[in-house]
Structure 1
């Protein structure tokens, strides 16, 4: 599989980016990362290198220049991100950023031994960080972003993904898609959207957020897409057969209060909460289909059907009658 193979000259190009400094070997950074992710020691410092796999196209999650651009745009803002220290625009492009120490633990999905009070504090703080992200003046950030995505475009994209999932794997899915299409809310002013904002993508030290990472699918769009996704991970019951109970985690309402910080509630948020569940069902259904078709081999995907069904059922519940 080429997805695991680095460009043949990547190591040499990394060395040349740090002239006069001692550069160690590239060591694979384990974890659920898109593209290739390495740790490299340069002098006394450690950096993370992200690169396009050999023979892969530099688009979507593999667009390293796009990832570097958003991190550079966020430098010095109220949203903590790793500092970019090198960008090589020659294709296949790569970039290096500071290595930020910290834990990225998703309380209801990961195996961990976090103190429940610490998990709770991190989740509340993450809600505040998300608000700081959405409060940034997106027009002033040097993002070179495509036009904002509205709620209709978001629904259309994920409806296509859901329709690609066999009907037997998405019970009630067609009715949910119809109901979402009949109740699309008006748009809010666009903001910078992380796209996968949750504690699993937030490096924490003690109670504090050290850095928000994994910006592969950032966009400019509706803040409620990020917020709905983040709230989904507050309750293990959203993930039957997958989630674990962590006593004392804040409920969605408490996280929403932390995000709003006394501001006016966001209209139409329930529609986005339902959309988020549809998105998760579509993603899981897509992965399960690929496994059953033999395109990937991951028996763990067989644990997904109860969660897929629960996502669709609770999304319909949120929309009401």
Structure 2
């Protein structure tokens, strides 16, 4: 497969007139990212008699995965964010429909650094891990503080206004109904609860929708890039906060005894000026578990259709967390 990808890349980049003597070196597929095929390589070309080498990464749609997303939207978001202070990779080229690369694809600059899902509870000294937790929180606040109208993100992303929760619920219920192969009464009970309790949004922000240490590149203890903007959209900031604070991701975002939920919410509020409504946050936290379950339903469908190699399905832990979060204790 690698040689086929190499030839596809060479043909595509030649058509972009990137330079003479084009070579694709050190091409290899990496395991980072479950929903896209990620191929890293170096592009070598000659310009004005000098040789240039540029580290790049190809993000290519797979046959199937946990969630279907749009490379064109991801490309446009990355291009728009180049005018902001948010550290993101530079998007270089787009093959929107896969005419050249076989599948919808984008090519980005490859930033140095490493991802570590559990860096906040890893081997670094406690003081370093707490400082990183502060910086991760500040980075999320930075994303939410972006002037998305100034960056003209609303030219290709819809503003849901106060109805962000209902829009996201509708989107993910549609994915569930399309991909489910069997009944999921736990998910149906949760959907009923979501419909009855959907909060109104008080602010529209750029939502990353998969904010986690595993999507942040670190060089040493310094953040150099926020990756994987494929789910980005305009919506309620509590969507990202709910994703970060859901019990299923506690080890990624919290440090027991040093960086707890109230610490995160307090720092976030100080950075954004947004007071976090605990009732609304409960909805978004529960919704994050629902999204996780729907992604696993889609993953199982892809596996059974022969479009992916991993047989995801909703786990007992995910469903239990979801049911606990959507139980009305006062009813």
User: Which category describes the TM-score, using the shorter chain as reference length?
Assistant: 0.7 to 0.9
Distance 1:166 1:55 in 2: 22
Distance 1:72 1:294 in 2: 34
**CA offsets per residue over residues 196-255 of structure 1, 9 Å max, x none?**
11111111223332111111121112211122112236524xxxxxx9x97556222222
Distance 2:119 2:323 in 1: 20
Matched, 1:48 2:56: yes
Task: Quote how far apart the aligned CAs of 1:117 are.
Answer: 4.8
| Secondary structure of the corresponding residue to residue 130 of structure 1 | helix
Task: Quote how far apart the aligned CAs of 1:9 are.
Answer: 3.4
Distance 1:315 1:119 in 2: 29
Distance 1:23 1:5 in 2: 14
Alignment of 1:164-203 (within 5 A): 164=180, 166-167=182-183, 170=184, 172-203=186-217
Alignment of 1:20-31 (within 5 A): 20=20, 23-25=23-25, 27-31=27-31
Instruction: Show the counterpart of 2:148.
Output: 138
**CA offsets per residue over residues 7-30 of structure 1, 9 Å max, x none?**
853223325543147643261240
Tell me, yes or no, if the aligned pair for 2:119 and 2:129 is still in contact at 8 Å. Answer: no
Using the size of structure 1 for normalisation, the TM-score is 0.78
Alignment of 1:208-287 (within 5 A): 208-232=222-246, 234-236=249-251, 250-261=259-270, 263-267=273-277, 268-287=280-299
Instruction: Show the counterpart of 1:9.
Output: 8
Tell me, yes or no, if the aligned pair for 2:120 and 2:255 is still in contact at 8 Å. Answer: no
Structure 1, unpaired ranges of 5+ = 237-242
Distance 2:293 2:68 in 1: 21
| Secondary structure of the corresponding residue to residue 149 of structure 2 | helix
Task: Quote how far apart the aligned CAs of 1:182 are.
Answer: 0.5
Task: Quote how far apart the aligned CAs of 1:310 are.
Answer: 2.8
Q: Aligned pair in 2 of structure 1 residues 281, 250: CA closer, same or farther (>3 Å)?
A: farther
Q: Aligned pair in 2 of structure 1 residues 273, 11: CA closer, same or farther (>3 Å)?
A: same
Moved more, 196-205 or 81-90: 81-90
Task: Quote how far apart the aligned CAs of 1:186 are.
Answer: 0.9
Q: Which has the higher strand share?
A: 2
Task: Quote how far apart the aligned CAs of 1:165 are.
Answer: 6.0
| Secondary structure of the corresponding residue to residue 182 of structure 1 | helix
Structure 2, unpaired ranges of 5+ = 45-50
- Aligned residue pair count: 306
Distance 2:150 2:286 in 1: 31
Task: Quote how far apart the aligned CAs of 1:162 are.
Answer: 4.3
Matched, 1:103 2:114: yes
> Please, which of 50, 67, 73 is the counterpart of residue 74 of structure 2?
67
Indicate the RMSD between aligned Cα atoms, in angstroms: 3.8
| Secondary structure of the corresponding residue to residue 112 of structure 2 | coil
Instruction: Show the counterpart of 1:78.
Output: 85
Distance 1:206 1:75 in 2: 23
Q: Aligned pair in 2 of structure 1 residues 287, 66: CA closer, same or farther (>3 Å)?
A: closer
Task: Quote how far apart the aligned CAs of 1:157 are.
Answer: 2.0
